[in-house]
Chain A
Amino acid sequence: MEQTSVILLWLAYLLYAAAFAVFLIGFFTQRAWANRLGSVVVAVGLLAQTAGLFLRGVEAGRFPFVGLYESMVLVAWAVVLVWYVLQWFTKLKAVGLYVMPVVLVLLTVALVAYDPPAGLLPVLRSDIVVVHVIVMLVAIGCLYVAGGAAIIYLIEERLLRRRRTGGVLGRLPSLATLDRLIYHATLLGLPFLTMGMAAGVIRAETFRVQGWATDPMVLLSAAAWAVYLALIAGRVRGDWSGRAVSWLAVMGLVLLLVIRFAAVPYLSGFHTFGA
């Protein structure tokens, strides 16, 4: 079963890579079919990844969120899912091209850091931990998408300001599209982030974890939360320009990446379970 799971995840990896290639073709030839085909390929990849994750969970006898391998696969899964749902509801086209590389990087990290499924540490045997992880994953998926869109927004804005109107500009999604994507993704992600953090706090309080409130990871998460809250508030009141909103989304993204790739493995007193 472990083998099937790995094969399925590799399959998903290859499908995402294929989808990326199709999106690239669409980007250069400006053909609508490429985006449609790419979406279908991603959907198949998502199914394979879901099945792979499920089997991994069955094999380990628990929710698959322990260790670098599982968490990376989970984050990638969440990003794809969020993008897919958002694309469905907001009719955003041509964003898949930018989502796929992120997913591929995440999965590459995961596949390099592969470890066989292991039993669960006693600390993690708790329903609220599972809730915490799932909710956080959705939040992270949304906020990565928002951050990615913000980066493109800033690039495009700069191209427009510098009158670099040839070449790549005509192939990027419009500023309004990106602005909407940033807003919607954050609007979806922030409540999940809040819930996830609340679940974490409850769990820490119940088990009387020492010094959780001053843990660098918790502090950084609180900072990210504040950034996203500011983004939503500013956007709703209309005080901030598209640029400011984008910079906030990028800032949030940087914080999340620092948490995942620096704070969790090196700085945090806890949260370092699988590695």
Chain B
Amino acid sequence: MHVVVAGISHKTAPLDLRERLALDEAAALRLSQALLDEGEACEAVALSTCNRTELYLWARDSLAARQAALTHLARHAGVEPRELEPSLYSYSGDGAISHLFRVTSSLDSMVVGEAQIVAQLKAAYQLACDGGCTAVVFNRLFRHALEVGKRVRTETAIGERPVSVSSAAVELAEQVFGRLRDHTVLIIGAGETSELTATHLKAHGIDRILVANRTLETSRELARRVGGEAVQFEDLGEHLTSADIVISSTSAPHYVLTRETVERAFKRRRHRPMFLIDIAVPRDLDPEIDKVRDAYLYDIDDLQQVVERNRHEREKEAQLAERIVAQELASVNDWLRSLEVVPTIATLREAVEDIRRSELERLGNRLSDLSDEQRAQVEMLTSSIVNKILHVPTVKMKEVAGRDQCYLYVDAVRTLFDLDDGDDDGRPSQEAAEPAEPSRPRRLGAEACEESGGTLHHLRDTGTERA
């Protein structure tokens, strides 16, 4: 069995193909379920964001699974499979798992270090889980992936400094004003970046948003969208008095604000500082404004520079993150290997044999009256009871060993007999030779989607299949 991923992303596909392949919730679920129904995969999660569409599958045959994924994706997009082929990437095994971890750590994102992907992945997994498309392996794998994402965020500074113009502007504003509550922002012109910045500022607690545009209609429209108030463009000088942050992005060929206007405003605003952002080309704000005391003017180049430097920082942090991904991959692999039938049988036998031996030892005193022959008989009797009890489970497990659902049995046995606790010496030797990773405690807790719940669901399914 392999973890397989097949999909497209901003690195392999142009925007229009990504648009066609975007999956809404219903489509994501439909696609996953179709793959399960056809028997190409045992578990499936579909992840769709604006930059990628990916199918994660737990499948026996990785090539067949990839082919099935390709067919389904092509059908959804309404293109021929061979048209999709060049944009489609796929990995299986370690490659797929580390890809998943890199995605959750936002190492594969368009903007390295962006924070949304964790929530998006969580939603995709939750959807698949609620739709009954995941079981033991993916429940564990995806939750692990979310934790990897969290670990990367806390242990590296990958998402620390802003790498977009609007968030860099907000950070600088905070450097000047501290908390943004009780401050006012004045937006001049209705560009996309200024709207984005206003939204950012609002999220950071800014109170009042004023919008000024040459046409009052446009400013009303923008004001409605960002939750501000529209003001007359002609009264700009007046509103400047109450504005702490000014964002300008008009298409005017000349300066909208001159040094004199700002100086006049400063006389009335009693020298509270003012932070001005000019994102227009050609510039809206007279560069001389930066020389006014307590006025800080940053133009688009200054902000780009900030962004560039921060992006560079992030790339350095990304290398640290890659190391974390590699570590976590090893720990997941340890667990996946434990899902194989033969080692599990061996562990189970050892565990039961341990119980037998310790019970005999406990009775040691009382057995001392017995003769050697009698003691040998007790030994044999207990051994044969153990063997008889273990016979059927062993045979059944060997029977399912080749089947898709075998790992569900393995997981059930491991859970029922508590084989995962301190099982280091119970493992086959080739595993003991593996580098020991700190294994995370198993959680069968009361989270929204329980591993045990998933297991039962699927065991029932296999039951009906076989009936």
Residues of A within 8 A of B (CB): 30, 156, 160-161, 163, 165-166, 169-170, 172-177, 237-244
Interface of B, helix, strand, loop or mixed by DSSP? helix
User: B172 and A161: CB pair below 8 A?
Assistant: no
Please give me the residue from chain A that is nearest to B272 by CB atom.
Answer: A238
Beyond A160-B176, A165-B306, A240-B271, 10 additional pairs, beta carbon < 8 A: A30-B160, A160-B296, A166-B310, A169-B175, A173-B178, A174-B175, A176-B177, A238-B272, A242-B293, A244-B293
Query: What distance in Å separates the Cβ of A153 from its nearest Cβ neighbour in chain B?
Result: 11
- B270 on the interface (CB 8 Å rule)? yes
B273 touches A175 (CB 8 A): yes
Tell me how far the C-beta of A84 lies from the nearest C-beta in chain B, rounded to whole angstroms: 20
Inside 8 A of A169's CB, which chain B residues have their CB?
A: 175
If A175-B273, A242-B294 touch, whether A163 touches B161 (CB-CB below 8 Å) is no
Contacting A at CB under 8 A, from B284-317, are: 290, 293-294, 296, 298, 302, 305-306, 309-310, 313
Kindly state the separation between the CA atoms of A241 and B291 in the bound complex, as whole angstroms: 12
Task: Judge whether A177 and B178 touch: CB under 8 Å.
Answer: yes
Q: What's the nearest-Cβ distance from chain B to residue A132, in Å?
A: 36
Smallest Cβ distance from A182 to chain B, in angstroms? 14
Residue-by-residue, is B304-336 near A (CB-CB < 8 Å gives 1, otherwise 0)? Answer: 011001100100000000000000000000000
Query: Could you tell me the distance in whole angstroms from the C-beta of B325 to the nearest C-beta in chain A?
Result: 22
What residues of chain B lie closer than 8 Å to A161, measured between beta carbons?
290, 296
Q: Which residues of A are found within 8 Å of B176, using beta-carbon distances?
A: 160, 174-176
Closest 8 A/B residue pairs (Cβ): A238-B270, A174-B178, A241-B293, A176-B178, A241-B294, A165-B306, A166-B309, A177-B178
Does B309 contact A165, Cβ atoms closer than 8 Å? yes
**How many residues on chain B are close to A (CB under 8 Å)?**
26
In the assembled complex, the Cα of A237 lies from the Cα of B273 at a distance in Å of 15
B437 contacts partner chain A, Cβ-Cβ < 8 Å: no
Q: How far is the CB of A194 from chain B (nearest CB, A)?
A: 25
Give, as a whole number of angstroms, the nearest-CB distance from B347 to chain A.
Answer: 42
Q: Are B178 and A243 in contact (CB under 8 A)?
A: no
**From A30, A166, A239, contact of B271 by CB (8 A):** A239
Decide: A176 and B273 in contact? CB cutoff 8 A: yes
- Interface assignment of B174: CB less than 8 Å from any CB of chain A: yes
Does the CB pair B273–A242 fall under 8 Å?
yes
B283 to chain A, nearest CB (A): 16
Chain B's closest residue to A176 (CB) is B178
Identity of the chain B residue whose Cβ is nearest the Cβ of A172 in the assembled complex: B175
| Docked-complex contact B294 and A243, CB < 8 angstroms | yes
20 CB contacts below 8 A, A to B, read A160-B175, A160-B176, A160-B296, A161-B296, A165-B309, A166-B306, A166-B313, A169-B175, A170-B161, A170-B171, A170-B175, A174-B176, A175-B176, A176-B273, A237-B270, A238-B271, A238-B272, A241-B293, A242-B294, A244-B293
A contact residues around B172 at 8 Å (CB):
160, 165
Q: B246-273 interface mask toward A, CB cutoff 8 Å, 1 = contact, 0 = none?
A: 0000000000000000000000011111
Question: How far does the alpha carbon of A238 sit from the alpha carbon of B172 in the complex, in Å?
Answer: 23
Assuming the contacts A238-B271, A240-B271, A241-B294, asked whether A174 and B177 have C-beta atoms less than 8 A apart, the reply is yes
Q: Contact flags (1/0) for B122-166 with A, using CB distance below 8 Å?
A: 000000000000000000000000000000000000001100000
Whole-angstrom CA separation of A241 from B172 in the bound complex: 19
CA distance A241 to B294 in the complex (A): 6
Inter-chain CA distance A237–B267, complex, in Å, is 11
A1 and B293 CA atoms in complex are apart in Å by 56
Chain A residues within an 8 Å CB radius of B168:
165
| Closest residue on chain B to residue A166 by CB atoms | B309
Q: Tell me, rounded to whole Å, the shortest Cβ–Cβ distance linking A253 to chain B.
A: 21
Residues of B within 8 A of A170 (CB): 161, 171, 175
Contacts of A240 in B (CB 8 A): 271
Instruction: List the B residue with the shortest CB-CB distance to A178.
Output: B178
- Is B174 a contact partner of A241 (Cβ separation < 8 A)? no
**Which of A166, A175, A239 touches B177 (beta carbons < 8 Å)?**
A175
Min CB distance A11 to B, Å, is 35
Interfacial chain B residues near A160, Cβ < 8 Å: 172, 175-176, 296
Bound Cα distance A161, B176 (Å): 11
Q: How distant is B395 from chain A, measured CB to nearest CB, in Å?
A: 56
Best-buried of A176, A237, A241, A242 by chain B (most CB within 10 Å): A176
A37 → chain B closest CB, angstroms: 18
**Which of chain A's residues have a CB closer than 8 A to the CB of B273?**
175-176, 242
Select which of A163, A176, A239 is within 8 A of B302 by beta carbon.
A163
Q: How far is the CA of A177 from the CA of B294 in the complex (A)?
A: 15
A169 to B302, CA, bound (A): 15
Which B166-184 residues have a C-beta within 8 angstroms of A? Answer: 168, 171-172, 174-178
| Chain B residues within 8 Å of A239, by CB | 270-271
Query: Could you tell me if A241 and B271 are in contact, using CB atoms closer than 8 angstroms?
Result: yes
What CA separation (Å) do A30 and B168 show in the bound complex?
Answer: 18
User: Hey, which chain B residues are within 8 Å of A156, CB to CB?
Assistant: 175
Q: Which residue of B lies closest to A239 (CB)?
A: B271
CA–CA, A94 to B92, complex, Å?
48
**Shortest CB distance B8–A (Å):** 35
Q: In the bound complex, how far is the Cα of B305 from the Cα of A45, in angstroms?
A: 44
User: What is the CA–CA distance of A242 and B161 in the complex, to the nearest angstrom?
Assistant: 27
Rounded to whole Å, the gap between the CB of B97 and the closest CB of chain A is 30
Q: A residues within 8 A CB of B171?
A: 170
**Shortest distance from the beta carbon of A152 to any chain B beta carbon, whole Å:** 13
A135 vs B424: C-alpha distance in the bound complex, in angstroms? 70
Shortest distance in angstroms between A145's beta carbon and chain B's nearest beta carbon?
18
Contact partners of A176 in chain B: CB under 8 A: 176-178, 273
The minimal Cβ–Cβ distance linking A234 to chain B, given in whole angstroms, is 9
| Contact partners of A238 in chain B: CB under 8 A | 269-272
Docked Cα-Cα span, A11 to B257, in Å, equals: 58
Q: Is the CB of A243 within 8 A of B293?
A: yes
Closest B residue to A173 by CB, please name it: B178
A175 / chain B contacts, CB cutoff of 8 Å = 175-178, 273
Give Cα distance in the complex from A241 to B272, angstroms: 8
